[in-house]
Structures are given as structure tokens and as C-alpha cells.
């Protein structure tokens, strides 16, 4: 980024070297006026979407990064939306990255211009995974683009945008071809959407999809899915009671068998963060875990759960290390 955004680095240096708040504000006002003039020069015809076609890729990215930085500093930025949307629509990954970051920070779901970008976000979400094809450097990386779209959608929110996009997010999450990174992002994105619109998902219809996701071998995916499951179950407890056996099985794998990738091992404890999420889910069903409502193999799962809890209570290593206590 340093090679392509020297002007941005100089601008940030000027702000950091400001000796007073007034000096910083004056510098920002001058820069905002300059950027506004670049976006709408007055003597040139703008594109149909309101963007300035005369701007190069370097210029557009540089000016948008400056607006993002100004916004992060706490100043109001109420223009440049057309240029942001132009970057989001780009086929170049470097431009699309800048566009989605700015989209997340500078726009909201209720903004009128969001209606014109829904199709682009939807297309980026459902991008088909690559099947071994060699890509050129200028080509968009499918997984990365899907993650950008998911992060932006979660940050922007907005009821109309949620209603338009939640089915695509569910599709991405449930698709077996989706990568682990995309599954994690889509689960957390869907959690954010359901917090904004609690009745977005029918638990009885979605529970079978979650059951398949709980069979994933990647602990990162399981951790994100459990965050989603806990959020959904807290809203509609009864709809997800059928998933108790899957949750107990995962606990057994972690605690009894200690099957855990090295990167998820914390002081010889297999993925303690996932264990906590699993136990929090079971805490919502105090009657079911007694074996009354789990199903045919209830006694087996209850027995396994008892073994798991006993092992956690009796065999967890105790240490005086402050780091481990965290």
C-alpha cells in the first residue's frame, strides 16, 4: 500500500504532526474540499451513477482511503458514495477491497444509494468457488470477495438490505463447497442479521442445516457456528433442542478424546472457547439433558455428557500462570 498511496501517507503524517485540534480540523477541511472537487470537477461530465470517469484507479482509491481515515478520526463524511460504489463494482480485487471497507464505514443500509449496489453484493456472495483454474493477478479471488461482502453486509445492516440478502448468506453458509473462512464469516454475518431481525429464520427449518454444519471437522467453523446457534437458540429455545446430541458429541471429542488441531490447543486444553460455547448451549436445556427429550439414544448422550463434565471438573490442569488463567 505504501508504494501506491504516497499521498495518503503524507496526509496522515500531516495530521499526526498537527500541534492542535484546530490545525488538524483546518487541514481536514482543506483536504475534503480538494477531494470534493476531484469527485465533481464541474467542467466534466459525470457517469450515470454520479462517479467521475476521469479518475484513475490510483486516484480513486487514494481519495477514498483519505475519506475513510477522516471518518475514523470522527469527522463527518457525507459525499463520495458514488466513487465507493464504483470501487465495489470493480472486477479488480485491490479496488473492490477499498470499496467494501469504505462501504462498511461510510454508508448505512438506509441510505438511498444502497439499492443500486444490492445486485453487486449478491453476485459477490454467490460467486462460484474456483475449480482448479489458474487465475490472473487482476482476477478477483472468490473466497476473499465473498468474505468482503459478508463483512460489509454485517456492518451495514439495515432492514431492507437484510430482507434482500439473508437468503444468499444462508446459501453460502450451507454450501459444502464454501471454504472454512467463508463459512466462518457467513455464520457470524447471519448472527448479526438475526440480532437485527430476530424472526428472520425459522428454527425448525434451519436446524437440519446447522446439524450438518456441526459435523464439520474444522474447529474454527464449529466455533463460529456455535456462536450463531447460541444466538438463535436464545431467541427460540425449543426450535434447536434436537441439536443437543451433536453438541454433546463435539464436547466428547474435545474433552474425552482430546482431538484438536495444534493451533486450537491452549495450554493443553483443546479449544476452551468452543467448549464454553457448547456448554452455554446445553445450559439452555436443563430438562432435556436429563434424558427426557433428546430421543432414542438419550441415555447414551446423557452418559457421555456426565463423563465430559466430570472430566472437566476433576482433571482440568490448575496453574498459577496468569496467562493460563486468562
pLDDT number for residue 270 = 87
pLDDT number for residue 158 = 77
Q: Looking at residue 130, what DSSP letter applies?
A: P
pLDDT number for residue 162 = 85
Provide the b/e sequence for 135-146 (b: ≥16 CB within 10 Å): eeeeebebbebb
Task: Judge whether 317 and 269 are in contact, CB under 8 Å.
Answer: yes
Residue (of 270, 217, 278, 273) closest to 243 by Cα position? 278
pLDDT number for residue 156 = 87
Per-residue pLDDT of the chain (326 residues; tens, 9 = 90+): 544 568 889 999 999 999 999 999 999 999 999 999 999 887 778 888 888 899 999 999 999 999 999 999 999 999 999 999 999 999 999 999 999 999 999 988 778 888 888 889 999 988 755 444 454 443 346 889 999 999 999 998 777 788 888 899 999 999 988 999 999 999 999 999 999 888 888 888 999 999 999 999 999 999 999 999 999 999 999 999 999 999 999 998 888 888 888 888 888 888 899 999 999 999 998 877 654 444 444 556 777 777 787 777 777 666 666 665 55
- SS3 of 75-103: the string is CCCCCCHHHHHHHHHCCCHHHHHHHHHHH
pLDDT number for residue 267 = 82
CA 256/CA 131 separation, integer angstroms: 38
Amino acid at each position: 500500500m505504501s508504494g501506491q498511496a504516497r499521498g495518503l501517507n503524507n496526509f496522515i503524517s500531516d495530521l499526526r504532526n498537527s500541534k492542535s485540534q484546530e490545525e488538524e480540523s483546518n487541514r481536514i477541511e482543506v483536504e475534503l474540499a480538494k477531494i470534493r472537487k476531484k469527485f465533481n470537477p464541474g467542467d466534466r461530465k459525470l457517469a450515470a451513477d454520479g462517479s467521475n470517469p476521469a479518475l484513475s484507479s490510483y486516484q480513486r482509491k487514494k481519495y477514498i482511503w483519505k475519506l475513510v481515515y477522516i471518518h475514523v478520526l470522527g469527522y463527518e463524511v457525507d459525499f463520495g458514495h458514488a466513487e465507493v460504489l464504483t470501487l465495489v463494482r470493480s472486477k479488480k480485487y485491490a479496488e473492490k477491497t477499498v470499496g467494501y471497507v469504505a462501504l462498511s464505514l461510510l454508508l448505512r443500509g438506509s441510505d438511498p444509494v444502497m439499492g443500486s449496489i444490492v445486485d453487486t453484493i449478491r453476485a459477490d456472495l454467490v460467486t462460484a468457488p474456483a475449480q482448479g483454474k489458474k487465475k490472473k493477478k487482476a482476477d478477483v479471488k472468490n473466497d476473499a470477495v465473498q468474505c468482503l461482502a459478508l463483512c460489509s453486509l454485517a456492518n451495514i445492516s439495515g432492514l431492507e438490505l437484510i430482507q434482500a440478502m439473508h437468503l444468499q448468506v444462508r446459501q453460502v453458509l450451507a454450501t459444502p463447497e464454501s471454504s472454512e473462512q467463508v463459512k466462518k464469516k457467513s455464520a457470524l454475518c447471519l448472527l448479526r442479521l438475526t440480532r437485527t431481525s430476530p424472526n428472520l429464520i425459522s428454527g425448525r427449518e434451519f436446524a437440519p442445516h446447522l446439524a450438518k454444519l456441526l459435523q464439520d471437522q474444522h474447529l474454527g467453523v464449529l466455533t463460529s457456528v456455535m456462536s450463531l446457534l447460541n444466538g438463535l437458540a436464545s431467541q427460540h429455545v425449543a426450535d434447536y433442542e434436537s441439536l443437543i446430541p451433536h453438541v454433546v458429541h463435539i464436547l466428547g471429542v474435545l474433552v474425552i478424546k482430546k482431538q484438536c488441531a495444534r493451533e486450537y490447543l491452549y495450554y493443553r486444553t483443546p479449544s476452551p472457547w468452543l467448549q464454553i460455547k457448547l456448554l452455554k448451549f446445553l445450559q439452555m436445556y436443563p430438562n432435556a439433558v436429563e434424558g427426557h427429550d433428546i430421543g432414542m439414544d438419550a441415555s447414551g448422550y446423557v452418559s457421555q455428557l456426565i463423563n465430559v463434565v466430570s472430566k472437566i471438573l476433576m482433571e482440568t490442569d490448575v496453574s498459577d500462570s496468569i496467562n493460563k488463567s486468562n
